[in-house]
């Protein structure tokens, strides 16, 4: 099996994720896959939920917090700015209070609450998550490529069922609290019918968003998850463990990509330094192990490039290796 075959045989898998430990190549493969799919004529969004996102680095363009930025025809990239989102929430709440009760100024108590809620650690995750829901529900692209955070954290996003539960709980709680303040404000101005209508409408909207996005994200048919690993002992152990965990969460695993493989051709040259020869031998041992462990599920062996993968020409090279006949 190869990467290109997976995409050809499963055109219904529109939500693409690369998982793995830190620094193994998730962002690189996300960008290269986005590039390949865009070249094939699909409209693609690659987006990052990581506050330390590096899509700006790889595309050599500042895209942070700017929405979906077009990189080339069919290819869009987005880095989510959680702070911006939180500020927007706060403004929304203030605006609602103004609109509902026609107050001139937000009462101090309510303003304090709005500030405190924004400082909650869960708020950032909630804001990021909310934005992901927005992106997916908008359905403006053929493919969505999630540039994931390192494994441990990615699990959080992937255990969607529990995330949604937590999220709903959080929102309900915030909403209850908000209601208290709203009631307080209502005592100042009576306008309860309007208030109930608006809240109901909003709850229905949230319910719709949750249902739509959760049905997409937990959908085995439409999600493809790839594990990135490198031929090293500890990484292999971790990858196996993670694969077991993911299986528990029912994440549909599409296969493995092995990165930073020393090219065979290198070893055919004369006068190879001892150091390199040893590394090559070590890798060969782990490559055998990878074949034993994952067999048919290994979709690509990606060589170590001569430099970092940044800028479109390098991304193109990477895409050729991944999707051309680049297996060795």
Ligand X SMILES: Nc1ncnc2c1ncn2[C@@H]1O[C@H](COP(=O)(O)OP(=O)(O)OP(=O)(O)O)[C@@H](O)[C@H]1O
The binding site for Mg ion (CB under 5 A) comprises 26-27
Q: How far is the CB of 77 from Mg ion (least distance, A)?
A: 13
22 binds, among ligand X, Mg ion, none (CB under 5 to 8 A by kind): ligand X
Q: Which residues bind ligand X (CB under 6 A)?
A: 20, 22-28, 54, 150, 259-260, 302, 304-305, 308-309
Q: How far is the CB of 150 from ligand X (least distance, A)?
A: 4
DSSP H helices in the chain: 3-9, 26-39, 55-59, 82-101, 108-119, 121-138, 151-158, 160-188, 192-217, 233-248, 264-267, 274-294, 312-323
Say if residues 188 and 100 touch (Cβ distance below 8 Å): no
Tracing tokens 């109930």 back to the chain, one arrives at 196
Say if residues 309 and 58 touch (Cβ distance below 8 Å): yes
Q: How far is the CB of 240 from ligand X (least distance, A)?
A: 18
178 binds, among ligand X, Mg ion, none (CB under 5 to 8 A by kind): none
Choice between 18 and 167, CB closer to ligand X = 18
Choice between 19 and 255, CB closer to Mg ion = 19
Q: How far is the CB of 27 from Mg ion (least distance, A)?
A: 3
Q: Which residues contact 242 (CB under 8 A, 6 or more apart)?
A: 19, 20, 151, 155, 227
Q: How far is the CB of 116 from ligand X (least distance, A)?
A: 31
28 binds, among Mg ion, ligand X, none (CB under 5 to 8 A by kind): ligand X
Q: Which two tokens stand for residue 326?
A: 């680049």
Helix (H/G/I), strand (E/B), else coil: 255: strand
Nearest residue to Mg ion on Cβ basis: 27
23 binds, among Mg ion, ligand X, none (CB under 5 to 8 A by kind): ligand X
């Amino acid at each position: 099996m190869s990467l290109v075959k997976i995409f050809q045989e499963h055109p219904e898998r529109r939500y693409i994720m690369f998982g793995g430990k830190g620094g193994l190549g998730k962002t690189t493969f996300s960008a290269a896959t986005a590039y390949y799919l865009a070249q094939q004529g699909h409209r693609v969004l690659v987006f990052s939920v990581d506050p330390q996102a590096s899509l700006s680095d790889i595309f050599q363009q500042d895209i942070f917090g700017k929405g979906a930025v077009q990189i080339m025809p069919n290819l869009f990239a987005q880095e989510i700015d959680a702070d911006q989102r939180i500020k927007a929430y706060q403004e929304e709440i203030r605006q609602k209070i103004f609109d509902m009760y026609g107050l001139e100024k937000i009462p101090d108590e309510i303003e304090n609450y709005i500030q405190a809620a924004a400082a909650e650690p869960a708020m950032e995750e909630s804001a990021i998550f909310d934005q992901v829901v927005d992106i997916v529900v908008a359905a403006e692209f053929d493919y969505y490529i999630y540039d994931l955070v390192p494994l441990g954290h990615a699990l959080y996003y992937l255990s969607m069922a529990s995330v949604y539960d937590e999220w709903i709980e959080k929102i309900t709680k915030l909403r209850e609290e908000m209601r208290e303040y709203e009631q307080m404000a209502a005592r100042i101005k009576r306008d309860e019918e309007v208030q109930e209508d608006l809240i109901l409408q909003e709850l229905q909207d949230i319910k719709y968003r949750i249902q739509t996005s959760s049905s997409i994200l937990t959908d085995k048919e439409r999600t493809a998850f790839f594990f990135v690993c490198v031929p090293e002992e500890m990484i292999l152990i971790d990858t196996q463990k993670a694969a077991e965990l993911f299986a528990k969460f029912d994440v549909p695993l599409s296969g493995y990509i092995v990165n930073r493989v020393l090219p065979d051709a290198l070893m055919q040259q004369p006068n190879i330094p001892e150091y390199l020869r040893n590394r090559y031998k070590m890798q060969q041992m782990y490559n055998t192990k990878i074949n034993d462990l994952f067999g048919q599920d290994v979709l690509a062996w990606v060589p170590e490039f001569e430099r970092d993968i940044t800028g479109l020409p390098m991304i193109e090279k990477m895409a050729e290796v991944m999707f051309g006949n680049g297996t060795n």
